[in-house]
């Protein structure tokens, strides 16, 4: 690219998906706990032409080359754009491209979005000369104008001063909330088409995000309105229209048109999607999801955790550990990447029981989406203040008479049913042997297949389940 001849490192699509490991990084901005910086954000706002000095790049605080090698710093990226065709409703669309364009830079890894910003710059690229926000800003300017011609003017501010980052982050959070609120009144039934997003396929090749009015994009940065606007202003970009087709299951959220498009965009790896269930054929997850919904088999419930929760969840696992089971574009039954905004959807996991199935979530998120949780269930959902272990959780749920207890009773009734003689594999005094080439098991929402196994057992019990 001749336009980038002044840039000391290469710039191109070839570098998207590049993973910068901790030992190879020169510096990290933002990131998840415990190593990450608490305050970070990226924000785009549309301004009038006269308010912008085109090409201006400002740094509030130390520059990249002022920081110690291996350090982690707070960062705010504030971008102001102008153009006669730009509207306020396009801010989220333009903002999400920071992720895409930053990943074009050799030796740079950009993950997540909004207040979850996570960036690493490699030692190799730093040594080549990528040592200033001025260079980063210049790349963004060139790419925005080349890829989105409706952006006629742009000025970019990088904030590293910790106090200023924290102050501006609070303002950014208010703006994010205003955007999200505009999309809350729309329902799936009100539209003829959904939209898709493959912005994260560089990190998750089989992931296709289906953006419906009742299911926000998993990253939390793209609503149905945003995806529609993006597909119109950039028809060859990451967002595209999905004709709904025939509704195959309104409760689970399955449409024939969605299945067809997802199968095509995932190159046949994913053929069915249930938008409103975390079991069966759940929506795939990339890696930029804001939170994880996870199945807790011991209590037949669903737990929720967000990226900034640094402690162990009630199941004894951390967000980072569960994200390994969730991301990568897989359909991980029992682990589902979600946006925080999806928690406010009236169709939130409706096929699985919705809020009546949620048993645990961090206090911070519970308070943040309190207005979206049914009043009769909100005090029956445990937080880290109420339960730290499965045993404590079970006791809490019993004390508050959580609706999930009805599932326990139903399961106990089934287990008490007598088993016919034909179901016994061997007499109690004998040792039964099962030998088969493939044995599928379901554990905690995961499907495990054991091959060429031989199992020895003194007794085998077969129970009928729903």
Q: Where in the chain is CATH 3.40.970.20?
A: 185-289
**9-23, 250-264, 433-447, 448-462, range with greatest mean pLDDT:** 250-264
Task: Match 């090409």 to its residue by tokens.
Answer: 55
Question: Residue 29 pLDDT > 80, yes or no?
Answer: yes
Per-residue pLDDT at 431:
38
Per-residue pLDDT at 448:
54
Task: Read off the pLDDT band of 42 (50, 70, 90).
Answer: very high
Q: Name 112's Cβ contacts closer than 8 Å, sequence gap at least 6.
A: 30, 99, 118, 219, 288, 307
Q: What would the mean pLDDT of 391-414 be, rounded to a whole number? A: 88
- Best CATH choice for the domain 2-182 from the list 3.90.1150.10, 1.10.540.10, 3.40.50.970, 3.30.1650.10: 3.30.1650.10
**Mind listing the pLDDT tens digit for each residue in 184-237?**
878 999 999 999 998 887 777 888 999 999 998 888 888 888 888 888 888 888
Q: Where in the chain is CATH 3.30.1650.10?
A: 2-182
Per-residue pLDDT at 194:
95
CATH number for the region 290-326+353-416 comes to: 3.40.1470.10
Helices 224-233 and 91-102: crossing angle in degrees, nearest 10, is 70
Question: Residue 371 pLDDT > 80, yes or no?
Answer: yes
Task: Match 């098991």 to its residue by tokens.
Answer: 441
Nearest by Cα to 284 from 220, 328, 319, 318: 328
Query: What is the DSSP secondary structure assignment for residue 104, as one 8-state letter?
Result: T
CATH number for the region 185-289 comes to: 3.40.970.20
For residue 225 the two structure tokens come to 């309105």
Percent of the chain with pLDDT over 70: 88
Question: Residue 427 pLDDT > 50, yes or no?
Answer: no
Q: Where in the chain is CATH 3.40.1470.10?
A: 290-326+353-416
The sheet carrying 239-243 orders its strands as 209-211, 193-197, 239-243
* Confidence (pTM): 0.75
Task: Read off the pLDDT band of 415 (50, 70, 90).
Answer: low
Question: Residue 433 pLDDT > 60, yes or no?
Answer: no
Percent of the chain with pLDDT over 90: 58
Q: Name 169's Cβ contacts closer than 8 Å, sequence gap at least 6.
A: 39, 40, 41, 76, 115
Apex 240 CA angle, 351 and 112, nearest 5 = 70
Query: What is the DSSP secondary structure assignment for residue 382, as one 8-state letter?
Result: B
């Amino acid at each position: 690219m001749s336009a980038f001849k002044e840039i000391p490192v290469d710039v191109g699509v070839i570098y998207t998906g590049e993973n910068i490991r901790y030992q190879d990084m020169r510096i990290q901005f933002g990131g998840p706990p415990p190593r990450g910086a608490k305050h970070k954000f990226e924000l785009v706002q549309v301004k009038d032409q006269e308010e912008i000095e085109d090409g201006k790049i400002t740094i509030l605080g130390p520059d990249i080359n002022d920081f110690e090698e291996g350090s982690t710093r707070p960062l705010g990226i504030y971008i102001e754009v102008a153009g006669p065709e730009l509207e306020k409703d396009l801010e989220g669309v333009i903002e999400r491209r920071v992720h895409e364009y930053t990943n074009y830079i050799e030796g740079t890894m950009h993950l997540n979005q909004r207040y979850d910003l996570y960036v690493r710059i490699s030692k190799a690229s730093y040594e080549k000369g990528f040592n200033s926000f001025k260079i980063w800003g210049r790349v963004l300017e060139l790419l925005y104008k080349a890829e989105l011609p409706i952006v006629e003017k742009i000025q970019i501010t990088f904030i590293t001063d910790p106090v200023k980052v924290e102050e501006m982050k609070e303002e950014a959070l208010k703006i994010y909330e205003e955007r999200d609120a505009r999309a809350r009144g729309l329902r799936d039934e009100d539209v003829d088409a959904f939209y898709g997003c493959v912005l994260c396929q560089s990190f998750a090749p089989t992931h296709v995000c289906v953006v419906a009015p009742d299911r926000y994009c998993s990253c939390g940065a793209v609503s149905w309105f945003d995806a529609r606007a993006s597909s119109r202003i950039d028809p060859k970009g990451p967002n595209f229209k999905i004709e709904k087709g025939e509704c195959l299951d309104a409760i689970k959220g399955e449409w024939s048109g969605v299945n067809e498009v997802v199968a095509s965009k995932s190159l046949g790896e994913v053929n069915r999607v249930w938008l409103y269930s975390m079991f069966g054929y759940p929506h795939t997850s990339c890696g930029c999801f804001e939170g994880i919904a996870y199945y807790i088999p011991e209590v037949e419930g669903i737990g929720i955790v967000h990226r900034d929760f640094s402690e162990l969840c009630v199941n004894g696992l951390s967000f980072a550990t569960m994200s390994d089971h969730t991301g990568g574009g897989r359909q991980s039954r029992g682990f589902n990447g979600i946006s925080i905004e999806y928690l406010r959807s009236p169709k939130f996991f409706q096929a699985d029981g919705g809020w009546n199935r949620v048993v645990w979530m961090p206090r911070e998120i519970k308070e943040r989406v309190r207005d979206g949780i049914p009043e009769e269930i909100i005090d029956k959902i445990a937080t880290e203040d109420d339960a730290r272990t499965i045993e404590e959780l079970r006791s809490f749920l019993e004390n508050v008479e959580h609706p999930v207890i009805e599932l326990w009773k139903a399961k106990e009734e089934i287990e008490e049913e007598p088993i016919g003689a034909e179901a016994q594999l061997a007499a109690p005094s004998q040792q039964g042997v099962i030998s088969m080439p493939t044995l599928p098991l379901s554990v905690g929402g995961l499907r495990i297949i054991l091959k060429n196994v031989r199992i020895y057992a003194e007794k085998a019990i077969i129970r009928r389940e729903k």
